[in-house]
């Protein structure tokens, strides 16, 4: 797989050494068990897969290349390049400005842009409408296009299915940039709708099987249907694609449920003519990170620390998995660990930050799960590990513990 040229300060000598060791010992990624770093009074369980994925490193390389190649031009990002504050803030310090917030709210009006400006498409991609807007200004929207190749794979599959008269069901969050982009690309070739979760999918299934009325369907999904969508004719053939940062298991469960709905309606002998198998569009990195999280949770641990941007969808799903088993603290950096007795962390359910006292386990040895989202630099995870370690007197040094990871 291609390697990317990203700033060295995003790397971590500790985490990188562990990851490289696991790649050598498990090149085919069959072992999802964690790496255990035993410092004596505290043990860290490090996930088999976490941190920057292929798409994120690709986006970082392109963004920094844009800055380097255009020292005398204004440089803009459509919105956050990835959902990590450290990375986005570093680009801001280098003069990059954001055109929109992640929710789509305009920060810089389109009429302030000129043909001489540089605009970077973020890793999530963007809509065809925005590409056309940039082109009308005289800006090449694809010159610095950092859209994740796996997102583009989803778009390509949706296009192929649309040309075969399938309707596309997008599993994603309605307001997420990637879902908006996928919806925009998909609707050019196929009737397209968005479902957020299994609950909404069951509502769709009820309509297909005639259990709810057309009026109830239209009222429930009215904001999530492509223009001209006809529920009376557009559910004869369907395929499911997803926002790549959603839980892969949830997307698969939604696809399996809808396949069963089509089985009930059309029978096993006709299923291939009514339901498309799209399992190959699930993002490998999201799948690996989530499988690695489940591998972590098979081990005995006291708490979990998950590091990442608070608006990162894939990170919130890792938090969600960990919360099912043990106390979990979602933090953006080591600065959220205020002392050995106090941590501020994010509750993604309420979208609020809160403080917890006496969060550190004091049994001997304490066992702490440590992982991060796909947009979090390894250096930040390293900082968190080092700070937590400082609260356990008598621990072995980092150098001693990682000596075997050569």
- Let me know if 112 is a catalytic residue: no
d(CA 36, CA 38): 6
Taking the C-alpha atoms of residue 291 and residue 32, their distance in angstroms, rounded to an integer, is 7
66 vs 79: CA distance, rounded Å = 15
The torsion of the CA quartet 129, 135, 139, 145, rounded to 10 degrees, works out to 50
Residues 6+ apart with CB under 8 A from 236: 165, 167, 274
382 and 15 Cβ atoms separated by less than 8 Å: yes
- Residue 206 exposed, middle or buried by CB count within 10 Å (0-12, 13-18, 19+): middle
Cis before 365 (ω within 30): yes
User: What is the distance between the alpha carbons of residues 242 and 209, in angstroms, rounded to a whole number?
Assistant: 23
Beta bridge partners of 120: 77, 144
Residue 386: closest CA among 302, 307, 289, 295 = 307
Token pair of 341 as six digits: 């007795």
Give the whole-angstrom CA distance, residue 35 versus residue 99: 41
Token pair in block for residue 184: 């925009």
Q: Give, in degrees to the nearest 5, the angle at Cα 286 between 150 and 185.
A: 35
Q: Which of 57, 80, 177, 178 is catalytic?
A: 178
Residue pair 355/342 in contact by the 8 Å Cβ criterion: yes
Task: List residues with catalytic annotation.
Answer: 178
């Amino acid at each position: 797989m291609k390697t990317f040229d990203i700033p060295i300060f995003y790397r971590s000598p500790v985490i990188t050494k562990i990851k490289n060791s696991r790649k050598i010992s498990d090149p085919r990624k069959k072992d999802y068990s964690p790496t255990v770093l035993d410092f004596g009074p505290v043990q860290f369980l490090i996930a088999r897969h976490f941190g920057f994925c292929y798409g994120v490193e690709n986006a970082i390389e392109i963004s920094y290349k844009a800055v380097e190649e255009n020292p005398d031009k204004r440089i803009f990002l459509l919105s956050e390049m990835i959902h990590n504050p450290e990375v986005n803030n570093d680009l801001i310090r280098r003069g990059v400005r954001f055109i929109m917030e992640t929710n789509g709210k305009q920060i810089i009006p389109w009429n302030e842009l000129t043909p001489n400006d540089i605009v970077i498409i973020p890793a999530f991609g963007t809509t065809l409408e925005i590409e056309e807007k940039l082109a009308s200004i005289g800006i090449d929207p694809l010159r610095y296009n950092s859209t994740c190749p796996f997102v583009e794979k989803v778009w390509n599959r949706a296009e192929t299915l649309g040309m075969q008269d399938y309707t596309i069901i997008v599993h994603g969050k309605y307001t997420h940039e990637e879902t908006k982009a996928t919806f925009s690309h998909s609707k050019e070739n196929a009737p397209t709708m968005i479902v957020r979760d299994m609950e909404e999918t069951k509502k769709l299934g009820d309509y297909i099987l005639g259990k709810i009325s057309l009026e109830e369907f239209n009222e429930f999904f009215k904001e999530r249907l492509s223009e001209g969508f006809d529920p009376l004719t557009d559910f004869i053939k369907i395929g499911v694609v997803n926002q790549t940062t959603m839980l892969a298991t949830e997307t698969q469960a939604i696809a399996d449920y809808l396949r069963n709905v089509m089985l009930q309606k059309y029978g096993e002998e006709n299923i291939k003519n009514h339901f498309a198998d799209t399992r190959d569009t699930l993002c490998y990195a999201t799948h690996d990170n989530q499988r690695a999280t489940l591998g972590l949770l098979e081990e005995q641990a006291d708490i979990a620390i998950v590091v990442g941007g608070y608006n990162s969808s894939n990170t919130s799903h890792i938090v969600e998995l960990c919360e099912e088993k043990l106390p979990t603290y979602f933090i953006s950096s080591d600065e959220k660990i205020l002392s050995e007795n106090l941590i501020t962390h994010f509750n993604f359910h309420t979208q609020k930050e809160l403080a917890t006292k006496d969060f550190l386990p004091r049994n001997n040895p304490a066992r702490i799960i440590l992982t991060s989202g796909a947009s979090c630099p390894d250096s930040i995870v390293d900082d968190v590990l080092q700070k937590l370690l400082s609260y356990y007197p008598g621990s072995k040094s980092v150098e001693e513990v990682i000596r075997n990871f050569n």
